[in-house]
Structures are given as structure tokens and as C-alpha cells.
Chains A and B, each alone.
Chain A
Amino acid sequence: MEQDWIWGLIGGLLIGTGGAVYLLANGRIMGASGIIGGLVDGSGKDTKWERLFFLAGVVLLPILLMPLYGSVDTHVTNNIGVLVAAGLLVGVGTRIANGCTSGHGVCGISRLSLRGIVATVFYILAGGISVVLFRHILGII
């Protein structure tokens, strides 16, 4: 537990390095919802391969690192209703807001973008309310 924050910091530095490479080499903002969303709705047709290669890296590295860990439990719920509702909210919300934790959070705040800061305040507040509501009040999660 007490070394979790060290791994969090190391992981964060790696995430930020990925974002720095994507920005300085490709000239693009590393936002997961934007990269996926552009593929899904066709708005990123012209940069389709760049997006697919990025996502391939995201999927592949955990596969390569897994032998060092043996196994990792994501503790993801098996409640289908919760997964579907959460997935829909995340999909619709990030596209309407034009960003998620990586785009608005990591990339937006680090360039002192007011939009990034405000978006992050709202999704963290809503996330906190969500956990209080669904865990402590309704007891669903």
C-alpha cells in the first residue's frame, strides 16, 4: 500500500512521457477518448492509422509486462447493468465534453488550459458524487 504512490508516480511519468512524444513528434494531444472517438464516429478518418497504432501500444504493453506481475486483478464489477450504464455515460460524456482524464486532465492542465481545469473539476466532483451515491447511499457498487 505504501509503495503504491511510488508506482503511481513512476506510471504517471511514463504516461506524461507518452503524451510528450505524441505532442512533440506527431503534433497531437494525447487524449484517449478523442483518439478512440475519432475512430468510432469517423471524424478521425485521415489519421486512422496513427490512432490505431497508438491504441495498439496501449493494449500491447500491459501484455508484455504481465509476466513480471504474474496476474493483475482489475476488480472490475460483473454487474452488467452497471458496466453498460457507466460505459454509456463515459462514452457520451467524454465526446460531448471533448476530452477525458488524459486529454483534459493530463494534457489540458499541464498547458494551463481553463477548459481542461474546469472539465477536471467537474468530472472529479461528479465521480465523487457517483461513488457516494452508488456505494454509500444505494449500495450498488
Chain B
Amino acid sequence: MRNLFALIAGSFFGAGLFVSGMTDTTKVQGWLDVFGAWDPTLAFVMGGAMIPMFIAWRLTRVRNTPVLGGTFPPPPKPELGRNLIIGSTMFGLGWGLAGLCPGPSIASLSYGGMGTWVFVAAMISGMLLAPMLRARLDRVVPAE
């Protein structure tokens, strides 16, 4: 049952990324490019996605447990931390460079051509390297 609902959730996510045009790298880079031909689409996608999510977070306060059992995610940690800033900055640089982030890169695997596969392979390599880099960061300046 959990797998079925994961498939349904993933299907909505994949369909949304596809119809919104977010797998088109020029639309993502167009949104980031405030000095070029600015493309507002991404703001509508993010804003639109937050509407059902906002309602869903409200509903987690009414129901105390997920429909399929288990527990809801804990409240967000209040502290920001250096890793959040460094990681998000690195992510943003890569996002702008190729116009791809994790979701759309997976959604476009079937039609994005070799370039998408190269990106995803590099992204997976990066994810494998992350724990090592995080440990190194902690050695240079110990995390608070």
C-alpha cells in the first residue's frame, strides 16, 4: 500500500514537472536570468505547488497520523547552520549552470537524451561524495 501511494505521489510529481515545462532547461535558466529575457513560469509552478502542500500541512494538525500509519515528519529544526547555506549555494550554482535540479532531471530521463543521463550520473556521484565533503567541512570549522 505504501508503495502504491508512493507511485501515485510520484506520478503527480512527474506529470506536474512535465506539463509545467520545468524539464525545459531554458525555462529554468530564463527564470534565473533577470538580466536576460526573464521567464516568470517557475514562480507560478512553485506558487501553485505550495497551495495543496499548505493545505496538507494544515491537515497534519487535524489528523495525528498519516493514513498508512507511522508518524508525520518532525517540526523543522529551528537552527539554520552552515551546511544549509554552503549546500544551497553549491546547489544553486549547479542549477543555474545546467538548468536542471533533481526532480526534473529524473522526470526527463526518457526524453532528455544523453545529456540528462550524464547530468544524473554526475549528480549521483556528487551525492556519494557528499558525506566525505561534509566530514571535511566539519574538520575545517567544527559544526556548532
Residues on A facing B (Cβ under 8 Å): 4-30, 32-33, 36-37, 40-41, 49-51, 53-63, 65-66, 71-78, 80, 82-98, 100-102, 104-111, 113-116, 118-120, 122-132, 134-136, 141
**Which of B22, B34, B67, B126 meets A89, CB within 8 Å?**
B126
Docked pose: A49 CA to B5 CA in angstroms = 11
Contact status A72-B16, CB under 8 Å: no
Q: Given A11-B22, A62-B108, A83-B119, is A17 in contact with B91 using a C-beta cutoff of 8 Å?
A: no
In the complex, chain A residues whose CB is within 8 Å of the CB of B47? 9, 12
Among A13, A91, A106, chain B packs the most CB atoms within 10 A around the CB of: A91
A100 to B72, CA, bound (A): 20
Would you call the interface of chain B mostly helix, strand, loop, or mixed? Answer: helix
Known: A11-B19, A30-B9, A90-B101. A23 touches B66 (CB 8 A): yes
What residues of chain B lie closer than 8 Å to A49, measured between beta carbons? 2-3, 6
CB of B51 within 8 A of CB of A74, answer: no
Given contacts A50-B2, A53-B4, A136-B35, contact A97 B87 (CB under 8 A): yes
Query: With contacts A12-B49, A16-B52 known, is A73 near B13, CB below 8 A?
Result: no
Between-chain CB contacts (< 8 Å), 29 pairs: A4-B21, A7-B19, A9-B45, A10-B20, A11-B22, A16-B53, A18-B13, A24-B67, A32-B106, A49-B3, A53-B10, A54-B10, A58-B103, A58-B106, A63-B111, A76-B98, A76-B108, A76-B112, A87-B122, A88-B129, A92-B87, A92-B129, A97-B90, A102-B13, A106-B49, A110-B50, A119-B87, A122-B89, A128-B92
- B29 and A100 contacting across the interface, CB-CB below 8 Å: no
Residue contact A20 to B56, C-beta cutoff 8 Å: yes
From A56, A73, A105, B24 is in contact (CB under 8 Å) with A73
Could you say which of A9, A17, A141 contacts B12, with CB atoms under 8 Å apart? A17
Q: List B residues at the A interface (Cβ < 8 Å).
A: 2-27, 29, 32-36, 39-57, 59-60, 63, 65-73, 76-78, 80, 83-103, 105-116, 118-131, 133-134, 137
Docked Cα-Cα span, A141 to B99, in Å, equals 10
Question: Which interface residue of A8, A51, A129 has the most chain B CB atoms within 10 A?
Answer: A8
Q: Are the C-beta atoms of B19 and A76 separated by less than 8 Å?
A: no
Q: How far is the CB of A3 from chain B (nearest CB, A)?
A: 10
Give the residues in chain B near A55, CB-CB below 8 Å. Answer: 10, 106
Does the CB pair B88–A126 fall under 8 Å? Answer: yes
Kindly identify which residue among A86, A113, A120 contacts B122, using a CB–CB cutoff of 8 Å.
A86
